[in-house]
Chains A and B, each alone.
Chain A
Amino acid sequence: MTVLPLAREARDIVRTTCAYCGVGCGVLASSDGQGGATVAGDPAHPANFGRLCSKGSALGETLGLEGRLLAPVIGGRPAGWDEALDHVANRFAAIAAAHGPDAIAFYVSGQLLTEDYYVANKLLKGFIGSRHLDTNSRLCMASSVAGHRRAFGSDTVPGTYEDLELADLVVLVGSNLAWCHPVLFQRIAAAREARPDMRVVVVDPRRTATCDIADLHLPLAAGSDVALFNGLLLHLHDTGVVDRRFVDRHTVGLDAALAAARAATPDVAAVARWCGLPAADVARLYAWVAQSERTVTVYSQGVNQSSAGTDKVNAIINTHLLTGRIGRPGMGPFSVTGQPNAMGGREVGALANQLAAHMDYDDPVAIDRVRRFWQAPHLATGAGHKAIDLFRAIGTGEIKAVWVMATNPAVSMPDAGQVVRALQACDFVVVSDFVRDTDTARLAHVLLPAAAWGEKDGTVTNSERRISRQRPLRPAPGLARPDWWALSQIGRRLGYAEAFDYHGPADIFREHARLSAFENDGARAFDIGAVADIPASLYDGLEPFQWPWRAGESGLQQRLFGDGSFHTPDRRGRFVAVTPRPPCHAATEAFPLVLNTGRYRDQWHTMTRTGRTPRLSAHRPVPLLAVHPDDAARFGLADDGLAHIESRWGAAVMRVQTTAEQRPGTVFAPMHWTGVLSAAGRVNEVVNPQADPISGQPELKATPVRVSAVATRWQGFVLSRQPLAFDCRGYWVAVRGAGHWRYELAGPEAPVAAWERLEALATAAVTEAEWLLYRDPAIGRYRAALLHGGQLQLAMYIAPDAAGLPSRIGPAALFSEARITPGQRRSVLAGRDPGRSADLGPAVCACHGVGRDAIEKAIATGCRTTRALGERLRAGTNCGSCLPELRALLAGVA
């Protein structure tokens, strides 16, 4: 293997990886010495070859200390680590003693590095002995894991990113790649540019930005993917597009799969009915797939986040097994994960139904193996609660203590209101995060300050099984520490000093690698034995590599299953007979629309990072409910008006964006906004908590809702140098701007009442200030700017409608000014710069605002008397006090 020089020796440029999606791009970062960093894509990284998306490019802007959690907090007061760790360990010990180890749960995250993940898994399952460790990856790719395991016998992505470029046909299913995995999208777009024959099909209820490069868009009905791919399986089979040799020698179960498909969707017409698609479009997809040996089917949350997610995954994989289009260049099913290290979590076994390193509870030998490897006498021996059930168990009191790491379930879980209530009722909630204020942190008894991107040191695995180093640019600030350290400290305090005697991430990584190889005869796909004994220096310089990489092997194997060798006991791949079924909850008369949720291009998860940067906040500053114009008309929604979105589970309020890109009968809302950043923008309050029965992944993309217009009598916005605390009346959304926070507001009361409330808020927030005011009560227009120390501190604007509000851009820019000039004072209120130049020369006629320059010009062009000047310029025609000056100017010329 090649070894890079130590990061810090490379003239301060650190090779690391991006903190966001599952593409796992390489990043070259250098600290700017002022708390930020400059970042660029790493041209040598095989995930991105130098490309970065908008989020990755802005990583350097997310490193500020504003809002950081810099010390442990116990019951709202800052504390030292020793006290906090003692407290947590004592509480855990007491709860385990009183209620058994299963009364303790960890809810962890795809944001953790593999090393953090590994220690969390080992501590809870191995030593505390609880089964209940699950991860937010449950929300993002559990269905892919389950589908992979059903078909392949292991959770393995067969292909590599290069396949996306080598394919003749890329079918993107439930994936807005352009926004969610932008670098992969760019790679496909570039390949398509180079090979115009290459085709791209987008299968998505929405017409997304990804459709820009699509030759065909199939806006199928929510949850109908199984019907579409069952139909494809039949079509391929019936038209003889079958790799008979591959099927016969390397798979089982085809007949049952065909039978199941034929039963529900015997022909294209039936598929078209199921999916709500034109039959011709379905037929075109099928014909293209039939023609294209090199077909890659990329799928993401639109497939996974479904009560039929696992079946959808298998319906897709079935078509690749049938055609033998798997594990060879330019072909294969391809799950792209949401999070930077969802894959790493899967590798360490950090899902409630996994044990460790691709070993599961259903194999007693594996349980014994892990117990022996860890020397863990209390090892949990059965699957724990998956995320939804885990929070239900917290709500019922079955689980008494939970440690939440690097995730924000109060926002991201479906039926989020219930999650909040469960955490409120929980005896002991520990939250590790790098930010102080999150919806979940507000419910914690203990907060532990975690290291953030740029400080973390470890590894992540991307969607093509590539393990890359994440390296620190700077030491963690304050008392922030890596999660593995905090976990190990708890392990030691609970009496397992030896098992958690880690001195750095390299120790953990080696142990993880050793476990992957431990008694692994090749039956377990995940094996990185080749790096099990690397010294710390090699670990520091570790180049990106794909697993498996067994000890003694070259590590160059890029694709799996092309040889037909799967990880099932009989080494054969499995067709899975799947039957299409609609989402759990159908639209009803009372809840006639289907709510879909997803990401925005420039935001990430619950915005704890991306929400900190003005640049990324500019794309979509507030959450929008996308509604087809016909539905908007039907339900009385106006574009840019407010909508109340309500389901059986909860409600949210968002601005309406009418768009023909939305399938009629469906609405779409972003998943990102939180209770910290908005009054009611937390869409998961609305989302149903149904989950796939196999994967436990929630059906985040199909919730029956009703929508209604929210009557508002005023709208407005506040710009403030300091963050403000709004009470929850009405509508508000916080938006990060340069040097300020912006609050978009609206409410039901009279503008003047809203204004009085804002005045009180501003008075409390900026105690000493010069106030500039603009009031036009007859039309409900109120504005104010507060200045102090020559700088704009706060500006606020209210009007009955958007037409009465200025652009946000002008006043927002003034927060970057060192001093507000006298001329800019009124610009703050106007929301823009003034027009004509005020420079008319010294005023002569004050009444009519006529300057000397204008008068001299008039004289020069023929005005010879005061009367003529008055007729031309009106100068001197009101009070006449300037007449002597006018005469003097006239005399001066004469």
Chain B
Amino acid sequence: MCPSPAPPRLVVAGNGMAAHRLLERLAEDSPQRWSITVFGAEPRANYNRILLSTVLSGEKSAADVMDTDAAWFSRRGITFHAGVAITSIDRERRIVHDAAGGQAAYDHLVLATGSDAVQLPLPGKDLDGVRTFRDLDDVEHLIAATRTRRRAVVIGGGLLGLEAAWGLRQRGLDVTVVHLMGHLMERQLDRTAALYLQRDLERRGIRFALRADTAAIEGEGRVEAVRLRDGRRLATDLVVMAVGVRPNVALARAAGLAVRRGVLVDDALATSDTAISAIGECVEHAGQVYGLVAPAWAQADVLAARLAGNRKVAYRGSIVGTNLKVAGVAVYAAGDIAAADGAEEAVCADPDTGLYRKVVLRDGRLAGAVLVGDAADGGWLFDLMQRGEPVLHLREPLVLGRAFAEPARQAA
């Protein structure tokens, strides 16, 4: 970034939560340093994607989850192209071309293109009533569908699928979650935690088909059933595909940047082209692709600092904590919860109140934790995990609860 009389030009490809965090930090910490242009594929300002499930469930409105509006950009002197995606990058000339036929020159380009929902290549995937659950458009579509449809099948028992299922259930639909694996949220939860969660959700009226591989979506124009490979046929009039997300790397790949699962970045969040950085779910850092907001924010914070001139700041990867945002169900998972390679696992279980805690320790340090039923200690455990300090003196409270780390209350 060579100094010039006019501020250097920063172009941001994407307007999701990572991009927004970056813009927020830049605006606060180095407001005049860059001339900023933002391209967002979605036709609206920034919103909190994490809260989409609450919009689907009706707890919040779409307006409630908007973080910004057009005015937010203009107040900060940021040029914002809503609903305009960048289509290609001319790295030689440092110009991006957009879907509206325009172009913008940059001194530095940030890719924050996020990820796309995975679409299973199933027969019938294009029938009416089949939808992913990824953005506000999806949510608005699903909400509209709930007015006329009574049954839903959610394909995918991961975090997103369960949130979708809960939202639809809240809107009165009969919901069945179809999941390929033997237990829910297998990437975050161990089998026991998943069983607790499943039982809780079953009490809330959601049905589950586990170890269920979807063979086809059936219907004449409009979805009528989901057929499983084991022969079961689940009649439905709405299907939500929530089988995961894939980093959106098309733009980067087309531009010849180094890409594996995501756009490869180093600790400075620079891509293989130092004039281009990348943050958020489109990124692959040290072999990790993150699908959660906290790492995206951490990357945004680092990049913001670097763009503000602080070259010492680096991104060293994130430990992720997952909170299931389903009303009344407290589930928290963080770190490495599979006690492999000499890690130690300790458990506290109270099945009748649906309380389950598991911590994983490695070399006397907290490596992972799962909480079901009461997730209040999630942050405490997460902090301990991030700090990486020895925790053996806390071994019992880690399992039984933070409250037991402190001197006993005086009897009343």
Give residues 745-786 of A contacting B (CB, 8 Å): 770-779, 781
- Which B residues touch A830, using CB under 8 A? 396, 400-401, 404
- CB atoms of B346 and A874 under 8 A apart: no
B154 beta carbon closer than 8 Å to chain A: no
A33 beta carbon closer than 8 Å to chain B: no
Interface residues on A, range: 35 or more
- CB atoms of B379 and A845 under 8 A apart: yes
Give residues 574-619 of A contacting B (CB, 8 Å): none
Nearest CB of chain B from residue A246's CB, rounded to whole Å: 65
Q: Which 7 A-B pairs have the closest CB atoms?
A: A835-B406, A848-B379, A834-B403, A778-B344, A776-B346, A770-B352, A849-B376
Docked Cα-Cα span, A878 to B382, in Å, equals: 9
- CB atoms of A849 and B380 under 8 A apart: yes
- Which A residues touch B408, using CB under 8 A? 810, 832-835
Binding site for B on A (CB under 8 A): 770-779, 781, 787, 810, 822, 825-826, 829-830, 832-838, 843, 845-850, 867, 874, 877-881, 883-884
Given known contacts A770-B352, A778-B361, A846-B330, A879 and B50 CB-to-CB distance under 8 angstroms: yes
B73 beta carbon closer than 8 Å to chain A: no
B407 beta carbon closer than 8 Å to chain A: yes
- Which B residues touch A836, using CB under 8 A? 403, 406, 409
What is the chain A residue whose CB lies nearest that of B378?
Answer: A847
Give the one of B378, B380, B403 with max A CB within 10 A. Answer: B403
B146 beta carbon closer than 8 Å to chain A: no
- CB atoms of A879 and B346 under 8 A apart: no
Given known contacts A834-B401, A835-B409, A879-B323, A826 and B64 CB-to-CB distance under 8 angstroms: no
- Which B residues touch A810, using CB under 8 A? 408
B96 beta carbon closer than 8 Å to chain A: no
Docked Cα-Cα span, A849 to B374, in Å, equals: 10
- Which B residues touch A826, using CB under 8 A? 348, 350, 355, 400-401, 404
What is the chain B residue whose CB lies nearest that of A810?
Answer: B408
Docked Cα-Cα span, A775 to B400, in Å, equals: 10
- CB atoms of A878 and B321 under 8 A apart: yes
Known contacts A771-B352, A847-B332, A849-B380; 7 further A-B pairs (Cβ under 8 A): A770-B351, A773-B350, A775-B347, A777-B344, A779-B346, A781-B396, A847-B375
B315 beta carbon closer than 8 Å to chain A: no
B258 beta carbon closer than 8 Å to chain A: no
- CB atoms of A879 and B352 under 8 A apart: no
Comparing B32-40, B78-86, B205-213, B290-298, the segment that makes contact with chain A is B290-298
Query: What are 5 of the A-B contact pairs (CB < 8 Å)?
Result: A771-B352, A826-B355, A833-B411, A836-B406, A884-B60
B17 beta carbon closer than 8 Å to chain A: yes
- CB atoms of A881 and B325 under 8 A apart: yes
Give residues 326-345 of B contacting A (CB, 8 Å): 330, 332, 344-345
B195 beta carbon closer than 8 Å to chain A: no
- CB atoms of B350 and A849 under 8 A apart: no
B353 beta carbon closer than 8 Å to chain A: yes
- CB atoms of A881 and B323 under 8 A apart: yes
The answer, among B321, B348, B379, B406, for a CB contact under 8 Å with A829, is: B348
Interface residues on B, range: 35 or more
- Which B residues touch A880, using CB under 8 A? 17, 48, 50, 293-294, 297
- Which A residues touch B372, using CB under 8 A? none
Docked Cα-Cα span, A843 to B330, in Å, equals: 12
- 1/0 per residue, CB under 8 A from A, across B288-332: the answer is 000011100100000000000000000000000111010000101
- Which B residues touch A822, using CB under 8 A? 353
- CB atoms of B377 and A849 under 8 A apart: yes
- Which A residues touch B347, using CB under 8 A? 773-776
The answer, among A779, A847, A850, A867, for a CB contact under 8 Å with B321, is: A847
B235 beta carbon closer than 8 Å to chain A: no
Docked Cα-Cα span, A773 to B349, in Å, equals: 5
- CB atoms of B323 and A835 under 8 A apart: no
Docked Cα-Cα span, A878 to B406, in Å, equals: 25
What is the chain B residue whose CB lies nearest that of A836?
Answer: B406
- Which A residues touch B404, using CB under 8 A? 826, 830, 832, 834-835
Docked Cα-Cα span, A867 to B292, in Å, equals: 19
- Which A residues touch B351, using CB under 8 A? 770-771
Nearest CB of chain A from residue B205's CB, rounded to whole Å: 23
What is the chain A residue whose CB lies nearest that of B344?
Answer: A778
- CB atoms of B378 and A849 under 8 A apart: yes
Given known contacts A825-B350, A825-B353, A881-B51, A835 and B396 CB-to-CB distance under 8 angstroms: no
B383 beta carbon closer than 8 Å to chain A: yes
- Which A residues touch B65, using CB under 8 A? 884
- Which A residues touch B395, using CB under 8 A? 776, 779
